[in-house]
Structure formats: structure tokens, C-alpha cells
Structure 1
């Protein structure tokens, strides 16, 4: 799978195959020590693919948990992950947040702008995903949900006025190479590597991300 690069130009989204899902899920558990969760998958139907949940109006086709108590099904074992995805190789890969990481969720345009600035300034960054819904998620240490609103206020914005949120405890993110309906696949904007194993704190990324989001609204408030 080809890694995306920074910039606002949309990159081609590769076709998802079943083998990388199993291998990727096991690798996330084994190499990153992330809990992984098999989610729904895409099935062929009239007019194209649909979500295995059966809801024709599903908001995240092929990329959400299969049951309400999904959190209990997540595993950090590569062996267990291989068994789960062997049972249903098409299952999406979901990563519960609030455990080993949280994720700061921003629009793609703001995310690429902030990412370019942080790279120029050599800011320590963790992995970053890019979703088919034109969002970017920056992985940070757990606890970001409690910190970010206050940090945003101190920067001059009311949290509700900028398009920045945190995926924390009780939530999840879809991981590459999960596909979301016909929109395409989740990709890495910054792939997990040995160099970014240690995640940054939300304090380090909130300012550049908030400023980039604020440029879209152009209405900083106290």
C-alpha cells in the first residue's frame, strides 16, 4: 500500500484486499501494542457494495463495530487478532481510543497545513491517518479529551467554533487499509515507524492544529 504524502491534493486510494487486513491487524497488535477490533465489512449488493450490518443508510459502511459491547472484543494479542480475522477476513480494522492513544480529529485541509508546518519545525509527531471522509487524525497520548478544550480556549477560540475534536475513551478509529463504503480506504499520512513509537502529548499539537482549523473559520473568539 502506497503511503500518502503531505499536501492538499487527493492521492489515489488503493484497492483493499483481504490478506493485508489480517496481516495489518496482527502487526498493529504485535509491533505497536495497539488493541484491535474486527468491525463490519463490505458485501456485494444491488448497485454496489453495502455494509454487512444490513442498514442501507449506514453512515460508515464497512467501518464500525458489529455489536454494542464492542470494547470487550478488542484484543492486544497478535495471535488472537489472527484468529479473529481468519474467521472473517473482510472485517474492518478498528482501533479503540483512550487506551494506548487518543486521536485529534481535524478536516483534511487543516490537517495537511498543520502537518507541513510541524514537519518544518521538527515537531515530534506520531502516526497520522487520512480518511475517505476528508478528515485527518493525529495520534497522541491518552487523556487528550480532557486537555484539548482548555488548550483551545487559551488560544482564543471557543471549542465549538472550530472543527477540531478528540477521539478518546469509549471511541475508536478505523485503521488502514480499511475501506469505508464507496468512498475509499483509510490511509496513513504518517505511517507508524520505530521513530514515532513514542507519541506526543496533546499539548504539543493542539496549537498548530487549532490555528489551522481557525484559519478555515477566520473567527477567533475568546
Structure 2
């Protein structure tokens, strides 16, 4: 399926196929109990892949919601997910945050620094994505959006001074192997495994993430 990043090396980006998108979306719903919903997709226009939204300057081509009702379309049913991707097999795989997980998003350089520090400290880690926008998204328990500003201030930082963003209710993440146009695919820096089914709390990850973001300024 999708590749996993090891260290700071970029793994080969796989070609995205409709079947793999369908199977992956179903597996996320079935095995991880994550809500999923289909987003936009890539279309070939004059030999160039463009976003199905029709915006030639789309900042995330093929990797954003296809309409304003996306939150109501998200499902945790593998059966419903299979039907949705059968109808639109090239659609990106998007996961709403604020339900079964939140995500803490940081720049790639800070993310790899924090990831190495967390592994040395033996901190529990959930899945972590690496996006073509050069950001890493750390999956944590829901409710992080309410906690993180207080946690960051407690560490001596002003929340606005760090490029540390919490994606909670009303937001979403693009999941592997979704592609961002010609920029590449979302990949796992830490892939979902049985060992990380139980997500960490934001309180455990914010200190190393804030430290790394502070160094990365």
C-alpha cells in the first residue's frame, strides 16, 4: 500500500490507484474505527493533473473536501466507505479530526526532531503522517484543541509564537496514500499498528513538539 518514512529519508512515492484508495479507506474504517470521507481527486487536463474542484491554482489539488457537507458524509462504516469509493474510486481519503482523534501539526523539520526525541524518551506514539506540504501530523486523543494552548503557555511559550497547530473538531487530515497533485503523496512517518491503537494524550507529546518548534523558528 503506502510507503513509510524512516528517519529523514523520503521513501519512494507510490502511484495512487483507485483500488488501493478504496481498500485503504475501508481498512481505516474497519480496522482503526476511523471515520473517513472521500475528497476531491485528480483529473488529467491537457496532460496536466489538476484538482477536480476546477481551481487551476488549488493549493491542495486532489486532497481537500469536495463540498461543504463533508462532515456529515464522514462514516465509520466499512460498508458505506466501500460504496462511496466505488462511486468515486479516485477520490482522496480524508479523515475528520475531533472524533476518534485530534492531530497536532508541526513543520517537517520540527516533527522529525521531536519524533527522534520522543523515541529516545520512550514516549508512546500514535500514527504520524508526513504531508507533501512538509508538515507532520501527530495523532492524539480527542480534546487536544482545548488543552494545547494552556500546555504551551505552561512551557513558557506564547501559543502564537510557535508553528504548532491542533486539528480538532471541524477539521480533517489527508491520509496515505492521498496525493497532493504533482507534489507527491501523504506518507506514514509512524504507520498505524496494533501497538499504537491506543493514542497518546496531547500532554505527553506537546513538550517535545513545542521544544522542537521553538528550535525551528
Assess same fold via TM > 0.5: yes
Alpha-carbon deviation of 1:172? 0.3
Matching residue of 1:5:
6
Q: Using the TM superposition, give the Cα deviation of residue 164 of structure 1 relative to its aligned residue in structure 2, in angstroms.
A: 0.5
- Provide the residue aligned with 2:19 in structure 1: 19
- 2:158 & 2:120 partners in 1: Cα distance? 28
Contact 2:4 2:11 in 1 (8 A): no
Divergent runs of 4+, >3 A: none
Map 1:21-100 → 2, pairs under 5 A? 21-46=21-46, 48-100=48-100
State the 1:47 CA deviation: 5.0
Q: State the partner residue of 1:188.
A: 188
What's the secondary structure of 1:212's corresponding residue? helix
Q: Is the 8 A contact 2:60 2:180 kept in 1?
A: yes
CA distance in 1 between partners of 2:78 and 2:201 (Å): 27
Structure 1 partner of 2:207: 207
Say if 1:40 and 1:51, in contact at 8 Å, map to a contact too.
Answer: yes
| RMSD of aligned residue pairs (Cα, Å) | 0.9
Residue-pair matches, total: 216
Cα offset, 1:121, TM superposition: 1.2
1:15-64 superposed Cα distances (whole Å, 9 cap, x missing partner) = 21221100000000000000000000000012510000111111111011
> In 2, are the aligned partners of 1:176 and 1:186 still within 8 Å (CA)?
yes
1:6–1:115 contact (8 Å) kept in structure 2 = no
* Structure-2 separation of matches of 1:176 and 1:209: 22
Equivalent pair of 1:98/1:142 in contact (CA under 8 Å): yes
What SS class does the counterpart of residue 67 from structure 1 fall into?
A: coil
Shift of 1:129: 0.3
Unaligned runs of 5+ in 1: 218-222
Mapped contact 1:36–1:94 kept (Cα < 8 A) = yes
Q: Does the CA-based 8 Å contact 2:128-2:188 persist in structure 1?
A: yes
Tell whether the 8 Å contact from 1:95 to 1:175 is kept in structure 2 after alignment. yes
Please, which runs of 5 or more residues in structure 2 have no aligned partner?
none
